[in-house]
Structure 1
Amino acid sequence: MNLVWFRNDLRLDDHPALYHACQHGGAVTAVYCVTPEQWQAHDESPAKLGFRQAALNDLARRLAEKGIALELLKAGSYQQLPEQLGAFCQQRNITNLWFNRDIPWDEQQRDNAVVAYLQSCQIVCHEQAADLIYPSPLNNKQGLPFKVFTPWYRAWLQCVQQLHRFTVPEPTAAAAPRPEPDALQLPGSSDYRADLWPAHEAEALARLHHFLVNGRRAYNSQRDIPSMPGTSTLSPYLASGLLSPRRCLQMIQQSAAAEGWEWQEDAWLRELGWREFYRYLMAAFPRLSRNQPFKAQTRHLQWEVNPHHLQAWQQGHTGFPLVDAGMRQLARTGWMHNRLRMLTASFLCKLLLIDWREGEAFFMQHLLDGDFPSNNGGWQWSASTGCDASPWFRIFNPTRQSERFDPEGHFIRKLVPELASLDSRQIHNPPQKVREALGYPAPVIDYRGARERVLQRFRELNETESNVS
């Protein structure tokens, strides 16, 4: 009997563990482990758990059509899983466990503990590569991990070009269909915007196809405009594994071959590269999984502790319209446009000077597409504490960003309706009397003063490091 252990890979297409289990011979069953204590420790959002619950029910239905049952195994945390999975396997005469590896430190420790325990129970564990386009270690010419994205990306592209068949098909039915499964419930889940992101694998593949056919050409020119549908909106499907990154690459290559363009030059592929780079970093530098900055010296950066400023940022009441629009989009939908993720993160770390870990946790607690490696990498980039991060002296001016990326104020009017009556000039920084009349707050900080403060903090940090060295 074969057991497939599903995690952040809730799909049938290009699922190596499922495919090879079905090819191995013998009956196949499937399990998903419910670990609410671990989810809470990892700041998994109720919206993401709601999305995952819907995805699991869709997965259970489709597995049943192939004669495979999906069961929930309930535990508290990862530490309890080895014995509980061992008991689960022994009760069902499981002889082979199949799963795709994970990248973050806690998940690696979980997998190692499970494998060691099950092997002691004479259960064979088949570990498939992590959910990456190119899962093998990738080092520079000195044999060390890359620390800058661009040279890593060049090397990664060269390796990717050498891949041949790198996806596996959806397995064929090996047994008679099973009855329609009962609805699965996950603790801690809540309603999410199912109207925006139906949690179905078929929807993920359809959106990928639609984006490559209809949205790819305009991606470079529209991706930074939050009022336009210029991004792929595939991040929730990638984060919970309803969509394989390898399938994304394959469809990019097929689209390029059909239309006569070079797939290596695709701008969206580069974004998939960033997603993979952050996973590569987390595997190469485990401290990134442990709440530590990549740049060790930034541990000594003097952050501000200001609950009023933090709350104003969280609630979208900073007095900077585009920043507030981004935070309100997150609260309303569980998702935020990527340009606004950079802007709101820069505002918190660089202008409010609040520790990036506060923002990292808040995003994970609210994002439908919360993805630990990408979220951590993005926040450390914004805070200038990470690998290949934004230079410490680069500080987004929120008003200039607003004028550049929402010039007519369309996005602000939609998310900050109290400003909807303003023209395209005033809406980016309303005069004080206008703010008071409309019930919109004054800016929580003076931009120029806040900018100089953070520059001085980094100067002091750099001077201290120079004296020590």
Structure 2
Amino acid sequence: MKKNLIWFRNDLRVHDNTALYKACTFSTEQIIALFIATPQQWYNRNISEKKISFLNQNLISLKNELYNLNILLYYYESTTFKKSVNDLVVFCQQHKINNVFYNYQYDSDEHVRDVVATKKLSEQGVITHGFHDHILVSSQDILTQKNMPYKKFFSFKKKIINILKKKIPICFPVPKKRAHPLSFHSIDLNIKNYKSNFDLNLFPIGERKAIIRLKAFLKKKLSDYALKRNFPILNHTSMLSPYLSIGVLSSRYCFKMIFQIHKNIFNTISTCSWINEIMWREFYYHLLIGYPLLNQCQSLTPWEKNIPWKNNTNYFHAWKQGQTGFPIIDAGMRQLKKIGWMHNRLRMITSSFLVKNLLIDWRKGEKYFISQLIDGDKAINNGSWQWAASIGADSTPYIRIFNPIRQSKIFDSSGSFIKKFIPELNNVPCAYIHNPYEWANIKNITLQYPKPIVNFSDTKKKALLIFNQTRLKYLDKENKN
């Protein structure tokens, strides 16, 4: 009897899991599963404790789902990816594995790990089977006329939407329960340093809970998603990003559900608006695959290397702690620190402020976000920060700078979100909540809240000057060469 191993990574689900489904194709073959944790690698990448905790709890949930299918999930703990390959090879030898099934990951370290694992397993007579599972469409199917990955989102989106209109990606069903009953009880995963440090009410555990959340969002919130999604106090986003980041849900499954619940999804504003968010996620993954330099925290814009970042330590600390004196910035940063998640509109505002107004290197912001986010995802975080810094794949000129006070007045007009996370401003009238020191000066009141650490208008002008000069100097040098 052949024995197949499913090597789980960022695909902790039984619905629409390509590797799991393919491994279970033949009912006569025995199936076991393995997850190899790499805490030292996570530490080196600044992965947040909340995300690690969220992953650990979802592993336990996955173990139970697999046990119901008569599949045992084993848990190993290595230090790094390199060590994990050796542990994988030893595991396959001990359990007499014939085939290993896994879904691709797209970071450079993971790619190198998989190449090495394939080679070493092949030397042992083990056949490996890898699958594109974390993206909707293979990167080879979305290329420019010059056979290069797209750098502009709207061109990419047009291409992938045309593909999806013709053929919606197949979702694989949950495999049937294995015919051979397990000879012993479920294994205790024995996860070390296990602890829960995130809000289970905000992010309930398990694939079933994630599917319930997805369906509820599509039925109750999607119809007016386009109108309400930018207002953080309304809680009108899906909040599915943590589940997508570790593969408890697949983007294919999201597409399947939206087609089941809504008709003409490409022709309504709200459905198109949410699909647009999925397209951005897809776009950033295709960028990471197509441009390996992104894995080294490099930019797609060559003149970015010459920007004279100020990197003021005090400003950076104030930004991280939510003490900049700009209420919408500080509320967003405090939300991040408290729950490990931040509303997308606030991610754009806070990142723009760090890079453009404080002139702090975008890489520092990218690293800090990953250290806090429960939904931290390298491809999306990197792409979003380069977008905010206007030095990545973006069709908009580099001059985009969000005005935090104007954004605050538009998207939190009553100040309800601000007061939720900055209680020291509770007594400030709504008319002044976006600029509380205007009121404090009128009333001659001392606030237990910092004054703005910079003048927005001055720093905007300075950023525009620096970015413009840096770009022109680079272009002038290139033209002379």
Q: What range is the shorter-chain TM-score in?
A: over 0.9
Name the stretch that deviates more: 39-48 or 253-262.
Answer: 253-262
Deviations 1:310-351 (A, max 9, x none): 000000000000000000001111100000000000010010
Query: Any conservation in 2 of the 1:99–1:128 contact (CA below 8 Å)?
Result: yes
Indicate yes or no: 2:162 matched with 1:158.
yes
- Partner residue in 1 for 2:105: 102
Distance apart, 1:130 and its partner CA = 3.5
Distance apart, 1:294 and its partner CA = 1.4
User: Structure 2: which amino acid aligns with 1:452?
Assistant: K
Name the stretch that deviates more: 324-333 or 184-193.
Answer: 184-193
Distance apart, 1:459 and its partner CA = 1.6
- Partner residue in 2 for 1:458: 467
Indicate yes or no: 2:339 matched with 1:361.
no
Deviations 1:7-61 (A, max 9, x none): 1110000001011111134111111111111111222100000100110000011
- Partner residue in 2 for 1:446: 455
Give the alignment's TM-score, normalised by structure 1.
Answer: 0.96
Query: Any conservation in 1 of the 2:432–2:438 contact (CA below 8 Å)?
Result: no
Distance apart, 1:263 and its partner CA = 9.6
SS at match of 2:211: helix
Give the alignment's TM-score, normalised by structure 2.
Answer: 0.94
Of 409, 424, 433 in structure 1, the residue corresponding to residue 430 of structure 2 is 424
* 1:221-240 aligned within 5 A: 221-240=227-246
Any gaps of 5 or more consecutive residues in structure 2? none
Distance apart, 1:146 and its partner CA = 1.1
Distance apart, 1:136 and its partner CA = 4.1
Name the stretch that deviates more: 357-366 or 433-442.
Answer: 433-442
Distance apart, 1:261 and its partner CA = 5.7
Of 394, 409, 413 in structure 1, the residue corresponding to residue 415 of structure 2 is 409
- Partner residue in 2 for 1:30: 33
Of 362, 384, 392 in structure 1, the residue corresponding to residue 390 of structure 2 is 384
Distance apart, 1:135 and its partner CA = 2.1
Compared CA separation, residues 170 and 186, structure 1 to 2 (3 A): farther
Query: Any conservation in 1 of the 2:329–2:350 contact (CA below 8 Å)?
Result: yes
- Partner residue in 1 for 2:144: 140
Indicate yes or no: 2:54 matched with 1:48.
no
Query: Any conservation in 1 of the 2:153–2:395 contact (CA below 8 Å)?
Result: no
Q: How many residues align?
A: 469
Mapped to 1, the partners of 2:428 and 2:463 lie a distance apart of 32
Identity percentage of aligned residues = 36
Query: Any conservation in 2 of the 1:381–1:389 contact (CA below 8 Å)?
Result: no
Of 277, 288, 308 in structure 2, the residue corresponding to residue 282 of structure 1 is 288
User: Structure 1: which amino acid aligns with 2:468?
Assistant: R
Distance apart, 1:74 and its partner CA = 1.7
Any gaps of 5 or more consecutive residues in structure 1? none
Compared CA separation, residues 467 and 300, structure 1 to 2 (3 A): same
- Partner residue in 1 for 2:346: 340
Mapped to 1, the partners of 2:395 and 2:318 lie a distance apart of 26
- Partner residue in 1 for 2:12: 10
Of 162, 178, 181 in structure 2, the residue corresponding to residue 176 of structure 1 is 181
- Partner residue in 2 for 1:319: 325
Mapped to 2, the partners of 1:259 and 1:121 lie a distance apart of 49
Mapped to 1, the partners of 2:426 and 2:90 lie a distance apart of 59
Query: Any conservation in 1 of the 2:285–2:380 contact (CA below 8 Å)?
Result: yes
Mapped to 1, the partners of 2:96 and 2:287 lie a distance apart of 39
User: Structure 2: which amino acid aligns with 1:406?
Assistant: D
Of 241, 246, 260 in structure 1, the residue corresponding to residue 252 of structure 2 is 246
Runs of 4+ in 1 over 6 A off after TM superposition: none
- Partner residue in 2 for 1:57: 60
Indicate yes or no: 2:74 matched with 1:74.
no
Indicate yes or no: 2:316 matched with 1:307.
no
- Partner residue in 2 for 1:21: 23
Distance apart, 1:180 and its partner CA = 4.0
- Partner residue in 1 for 2:131: 128
SS at match of 2:176: coil
Mapped to 1, the partners of 2:201 and 2:375 lie a distance apart of 15
Compared CA separation, residues 133 and 395, structure 1 to 2 (3 A): same
Mapped to 2, the partners of 1:232 and 1:205 lie a distance apart of 11
Of 434, 437, 442 in structure 1, the residue corresponding to residue 446 of structure 2 is 437
